[in-house]
Each structure stands twice: as structure tokens, then as C-alpha cells.
Structure 1
Amino acid sequence: MTNWTIERQESIQIDDVTIYFDIVGDSSKAPLVMLHGGVGSIEDFDVLTPSLSQDYQLIRIDSRGHGRSTLGSSELTYQRLEQDVIAVLNYLGIKETAVLGFSDGGVVGYRLMASNSVIISKLITIGSDYKLEVSSTIYNILSGVTGQSWSEKFPDSYRLFHELNPEPNFDAFVAEIVRMWTDTTSSGYPANTIDQIDGKVLVIRGDEDFFFPLPAALELVNRLKDSSFANVPFAGHETHKDQPEFVCSVIKQFLL
């Protein structure tokens, strides 16, 4: 059971795909865009939605190929996900917003804030690095992911994908995700463009997050011009699910 209500849900056409979004909370309140992680969906934020929707109008977007959004024929990149978010905001007439991004959603958030395509008042990321080294162990792990290996390790994720997606082809989808994860060109991670970020950024990391090591998080925080950092104990990569009350309180304090 949930104690919140979707006020609006819609899909918009972008090239040959449909991008799904929904809106939770009072439209008179300040907007907060929610961008989920890879092979996930906006359902990943259900644990935060009841609390955050009391104070914000939540715009929850299913990334291209994820959830209720279709994949289309174009190559999946972080740059393309960024462009999709801009298209949704333009469609809604939103010129300025705060952004909350988990994992891949945070990568897109960094790109958005660095590019100044829309005004991002504040950015919160959870478990999101700004670069990936080809020589790293994490790169090797990500590059080896397949539809089969993912479905065996995360059966609930696999099941939900097939429940939600209107054009489910999991193997093709994961292949595109892996291509995006391992893209070290300008269409991928923000890398050095992180230096163009002037706004306030809250970086949240679970203390047991293998995919976002503490040295990487500290490097990012020290590089950003105006950053806050929360290293959350007893939490892994999905910090917001492991410690939802703490994460909500930190987000709300940061957004004040």
C-alpha cells in the first residue's frame, strides 16, 4: 500500500520512442525531477516518494528503454538520456528544477548541471560517479553483464521489466545498457566537464557501495565547487532503499 497518489501520468514521443513520466505531489510546489538507475524504473523511488511529495512536485521519469519507456533504434548513451530529460522538462514548461538522480540517473544529473541546458537549482546524486576508468575492476564487471547474468542475479528486476515495458526485449536492452555503462567518449560520463558545475550538489554514498568507492566519492566532492557529502552507514549501492528515512531527511535539509 502507498500513501501517495499519482496526479498525472503521460508518455511523450521523442524520435521513435515514447518516454513515460508521472507527477506526484501538488503542482504549486517546487519541482524535483527523479532519475532512476540502470535496469531500473521510477518504482525504485517509491520508498522516498511519500515523504518527498509532501514538500515537492515530483517529476519521475522512466529513462529510455526502462520501465514504461521504449528503447527505440538509437544507441543508448548518457547524452541521449540527458536530452530526453530536457525534452520532458520543455514539454512541461519547466525552466528550473532540482534533480535527484540515483546511479545512472546521477550521471545524467551531472551532465545536465554541467551543460546548463536547463537551470538545475540543486542536484542530489546517490551512488553516482562522474567517470569510469577502462582499466578498473568496475569497468571489467560492467562490461561482462548480459541479460542472462542480470536476470539470474536480479530476478525481481527482470520480472518487473517484463511487467512494465511495452516492448520487452531484455537481452537487447541490457546490451545497450552495457554499451552506455562502458562508453568513455563525450556522450558518456561527464568526466572533466564536471568542472563546469557551479551549483550546489549533494553527493550521497552508501558506506558499503562497491560501485562508488569512498576515494572516488571524495575525489568528486573535492572537485565540485559547492558540494555536500553524506557517507551513509549500513547501506550499499541502493542507499535510499537501505536507509530511506535518513536519506529523505538529508535531501530535505539540502533542498531548504
Structure 2
Amino acid sequence: MLDSGKLVSVGDTNLFVSEAGNPRGRSIVLLHGGLQSRLAFIPIAKHLAEDYRLIAIDTRGHGRSGIGTAALTYRQLQDDFAVVLTALGLQKFGIIGHSDGGIVALRLAASHAVQPEFVIAVGAHWMLPEDDTARQIYQTINLEKWREMFGNQIAIYNAENPEPDFGKLFNAATHMWLSCDEDAYPGASVKNIQCPLLVVHGDDDMLVSRQQAFELTEQVSGARLLNLPFAKHTLLEDMPKCVFLFLQNFMKYVTA
């Protein structure tokens, strides 16, 4: 699943796009988290595939996508995905974004660069204050620690990426996570989101606090909050069957 696909040009590089699921079903765009790839969605995709057409995009520098020459910023990723979605000619689609993918999904919906039917943001920051625990983690994490924790993830990256240089990607990603200018987190612009929004939060998420998830929900008119007890930042991979039931109910409700 999500193994075959095609490359779509976004100017200075090409992004890998893979499809799975029901070609006659409603389209859902899957945007993965930082230093991961579309493959992180496989556990939840197995549940979505029967009813939905799934379109998974590898972020620039991740998976099978080239890193290009542009700086890695949330604005750049927003622009990249807008180009891909336009090139695919999608008329109606929702977005499920995890972590960095959720942040970019919020930016896309807030900018009205695309018009998704809905956005499901999973484990996503909408802003990152100076005293946020995640910022402290990002400031102290290094490449050696990441290799110790996610060695298998890096091995998959090295096997898939056309020009693998995980050290370069890691440095670019951590710089993006710590940025706080207009090219970074969506911030107050999330108030511009007009499509239905489901904010999904794991109660044991060490990166995204309950307060973050609650405040994001409060910023967007009509947004819903799903806070799952005993769930971590990786809840889509850890407990896909449980999460799927809630996502399915939300999607059926907002697209009825």
C-alpha cells in the first residue's frame, strides 16, 4: 500500500504522490509528519481504503521527494502542496494532516489557496510560544539522539530518497520547527478557516499540549475537538482502528 505513484513538479524539485483505496470514493489527501513519509499513514489507511480514495504526498526532502533548493518552511510546504493539488485536478477533497502535515493543512485552509471540504489536524501546533515544551525539546534534540530513537525510520529514508542526506534534512526540519516568522506556524490566521475542522489530540502527546489543542479548536468557528485518553503523538500508527471510527463519523457528518 502507498508503494507506487508518480512525481509531480513543484518548480525546484519533484514530490512523490501515491494513491490507494477506492478510486470511486471521496478523495482524502494525506500529509505526513516531519522526518516521516507517506508510509506512516499505512495503519490508518488500511481502514480508510475501502470507502475513500487516498492521495498521500511525500513532503519535499522526505520519502521519495527531492529536497530542492528552497528553504524548508511551512509556507514553502503550503505552496508545494497547493501546486500538487492543482496539478492533480482535484475538485472535492478533504485533508488529514499529522504533526507537520497538520500544520501545513491549517495553513492551506486558512490561506484559501485550496478549498478542502474538511481538515483533520492530528497532533498539530497552530503556534509555538517561547515557553512551549515542544520548543524546548526541539532545541535539545540532535541527530545522534534521533538516530538512536528512529534508526529504522532513517533506514527506510535512505532506501527510498533519490538523494539521501538525513543530516541535511534533520537540520532543515529542526530549523523549521523552531521558526517563528510569517513563514512558520499559522498563528492567528487559523481564524480564516471556513471549512469544517476536527482537531485530534492524544492526551499523552509529549509535543502538543491539551491547551494547544483546545485553543486551536476555540480559534476556528464550528471546529470540533477529539481528545483521546492514553494516546500519544503517534496515535494514527498506535491505535488506528479506534481513531478511524471517530474520523469516519466526522467525515460522514461534514460531507453528508
Give me the TM-score of the superposition, normalised by structure 1. Answer: 0.94
Q: Give the corresponding residue for 1:55.
A: 51
Moved more, 170-179 or 138-147: 138-147
Contact 1:150–1:158 under 8 Å retained in 2: no
2:214 maps to 1:218: yes
Q: Deviations over 1:103-133 (max 9, x none)?
A: 0000001001101111111110111110001
> Displacement, 1:26?
2.8
Q: Secondary structure of the residue that 2:9 maps to in structure 1? A: strand
Among 222, 231, 234, the alignment partner of 2:230 is 234
Whether the 8 Å contact between 1:9 and 1:23 is mirrored in structure 2 is yes
Higher strand proportion (structure 1 or 2) = 1
Provide structure 1 residue ranges, at least 5 long, that are not aligned to the other structure.
Answer: none
- Is the Cα contact below 8 Å between 2:126 and 2:190 reproduced in 1? yes
Alignment match of 2:64 (pick from 61, 68, 84): 68
1:18 aligned residue: 14
Count matched residues. Answer: 252
Asked if 1 retains the 8 angstrom alpha-carbon contact of 2:13 and 2:67, the reply is yes
Q: Is the 8 A contact 2:96 2:120 kept in 1?
A: yes
Per the alignment, residue 100 of structure 1 pairs with: 96
Name 1:136's counterpart in structure 2.
132
Deviation beyond 4 Å, 4+ runs, structure 1: none
Residue 117 of structure 1 aligns to which amino acid in structure 2? A
1:207 and 2:203 correspond: yes
Q: How big is each residue's C-alpha offset from its partner over 1:148-182, in whole Å with a ceiling of 9 and x where there is no partner?
A: 22112211122111121111111111110011111
Q: Output one character per residue of 1:35-82: Cα deviation in whole Å (capped at 9) or x when no partner.
A: 000000001000011211111110000001111111111100111111
Counterpart of 2:37 in structure 1 is 41
Percent of aligned pairs with the same amino acid: 31
| Of 98-107 and 136-145, the range deviating more from structure 2 | 136-145
Distance 1:5 1:71 in 2: 20
Mapping of residues 142-157 of structure 1, within 5 Å: 142-157=138-153
Task: Using the TM superposition, give the Cα deviation of residue 5 of structure 1 relative to its aligned residue in structure 2, in angstroms.
Answer: 7.2
Query: How far apart, CA to CA, are the structure 2 residues paired with 1:216 and 1:26?
Result: 34
Instruction: Give the structure-2-normalised TM-score.
Output: 0.94
**Does the Cα contact within 8 Å between 1:195 and 1:224 map onto a contact in 2?**
yes
User: For 2:71 and 2:92, how far apart are their aligned partners in 1?
Assistant: 28
Return 5+ residue gaps in structure 2 as ranges.
Answer: none
Aligned to 1:255: 251
Amino acid of the residue matched to residue 18 of structure 1? N
SS at match of 1:120: coil
